[in-house]
Amino acid sequence: MKKVRITQIRSGIGRPQDQKDTLKCLNLRKMHQSVEVDLDNPATAGMVEKVKHLLNIEEI
């Protein structure tokens, strides 16, 4: 299992609606909020890839 900690470092304001929805699906609601996700799931890995420019990603 490959787990990573993702932290939202840039705002979703002014972004397309699909990117805002992706942040919500990743349970990122506020700036500098962190969550741990499992990248073995292709759906989750795709969501992280879609908004990686808004995130800081660190391996656990």
> What's the CATH code of the domain at 43?
3.30.1390.20
Tens digit of each residue's pLDDT (9 = 90 or more) over 19-28: 999 999 999 9
> What does the alpha-carbon distance between residue 49 and residue 44 come to, in Å, rounded to a whole number?
9
Q: Distance (Å, rounded) from C-alpha 6 to C-alpha 14? A: 21
Phi, psi for residue 53 in degrees, rounded to 5:
-75, -10
Number of domains, the chain = 1
Question: Where does residue 15 rank: exposed (0-12), middle (13-18), buried (19+ CB within 10 A)?
Answer: middle
How confident is the model at residue 7, as a pLDDT? 98
pLDDT in tens, 1-57: 789 999 999 999 999 999 999 999 999 999 999 999 999 999 999 999 999 999 999
State pTM to two decimals: 0.91
Domain interval for residue 48: 3-59
